[in-house]
């Protein structure tokens, strides 16, 4: 006797939720599954970024650093930045009356400014949050070491650029699928 497995629908829901995290979903268009999953995917992405940054730091220091302590710091920074960016995207969706940022409503430059500006603002605010939680004054840190702040923002621009191309290819695919369906 075959009983239906819950694993397949669960796997499909998780995959759809993960794809929605990468997609252009507004607050009005609820992604599949519980909303908590979107926050979970942000955490998973932040852990991946922390691992990459730790690997880069370890490689550039010829293995002379403690990978565990650098990973812990990178994880804290990436979680502060990632959840700040997630919150800003969510709040901006609510502020724009839950409208999706799509080509029908916004010109390409407007979309570019939105999708580049929110992560940059989120990076600045997230790093300030991290410094505050660690007991530092963010303004003092900016004035004391502007090179570090510029490096962090350069990394943010690099990550945003990479994600822009990922999202752009996904959007092109969706447009081609929609055109083929007509």
How do residues 52-103 score in pLDDT, each as one tens digit? 989 988 888 887 888 899 999 999 999 999 999 999 988 887 777 656 666 5
Any domain includes 106: yes
Query: Residue 90 and residue 26: Cα distance in Å, rounded?
Result: 8
Q: Residue 63 in contact with residue 27, Cβ under 8 Å?
A: no
- What is the mean predicted confidence (pLDDT) over 123-128? 90
Q: What is the pTM of this model?
A: 0.77
Domain holding 37, by residue range, is 7-181
How far apart (Å, rounded) are the C-alpha atoms in residues 145 and 85? Answer: 23
For residue 148, being part of any structural domain is answered with yes
Q: Is residue 19 part of a domain?
A: yes
pLDDT of residue 5: 57
pLDDT of residue 83: 96
* pLDDT at res. 1: 45
Closest C-alpha to 87, from 97, 75, 79: 79
Share of the chain above pLDDT 70, in %: 84
In a domain, 145, yes or no: yes
Tally of domains in the chain? 1
Give the number of other Cβ atoms within 10 Å of residue 54's Cβ.
21
Contact in structure between 27 and 11 (CB atoms under 8 Å):
no
Which one, of 108, 138, 144, lies nearest residue 123 by Cα?
138
Residue 1: inside a domain, yes or no? no
Whether 53 maps to a domain, the answer reads yes
Token pair for 76? 């804290």
Give me 160's structure tokens.
């945003």
Q: Which two three-digit tokens encode residue 28?
A: 């009005």
Retrieve residue 151's tokens.
Answer: 């490096």
The per-residue pLDDT for 100 is: 60
- Pick from 105, 143, 79: which is nearest to 26 by CA? 105
Q: Is residue 2 situated within a structural domain?
A: no
User: Would residue 89 count as lying in a domain?
Assistant: yes
């Amino acid at each position: 006797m075959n009983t239906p497995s819950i694993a397949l629908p669960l796997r499909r829901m998780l995959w759809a939720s993960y794809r929605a995290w990468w997609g252009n979903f507004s607050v009005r268009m609820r992604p599949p599954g519980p909303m908590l999953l979107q926050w979970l995917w942000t955490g998973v992405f932040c852990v991946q970024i922390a691992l990459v940054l730790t690997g880069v730091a370890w490689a550039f220091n010829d293995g002379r650093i403690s990978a565990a302590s650098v990973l812990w710091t990178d994880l804290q920074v990436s979680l502060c930045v990632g959840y700040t960016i997630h919150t800003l995207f969510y709040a901006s969706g609510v502020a724009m009356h839950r409208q999706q940022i799509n080509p029908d409503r916004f010109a390409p430059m407007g979309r570019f400014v939105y999708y580049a500006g929110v992560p940059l603002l989120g990076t600045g605010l997230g790093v300030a949050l991290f410094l505050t939680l660690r007991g530092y004054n963010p303004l003092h840190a900016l004035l004391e070491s502007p090179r570090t702040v510029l490096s962090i923002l350069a990394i943010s621009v690099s990550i945003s650029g990479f994600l822009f191309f990922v999202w752009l290819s996904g959007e092109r695919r969706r447009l081609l699928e929609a055109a083929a369906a007509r």
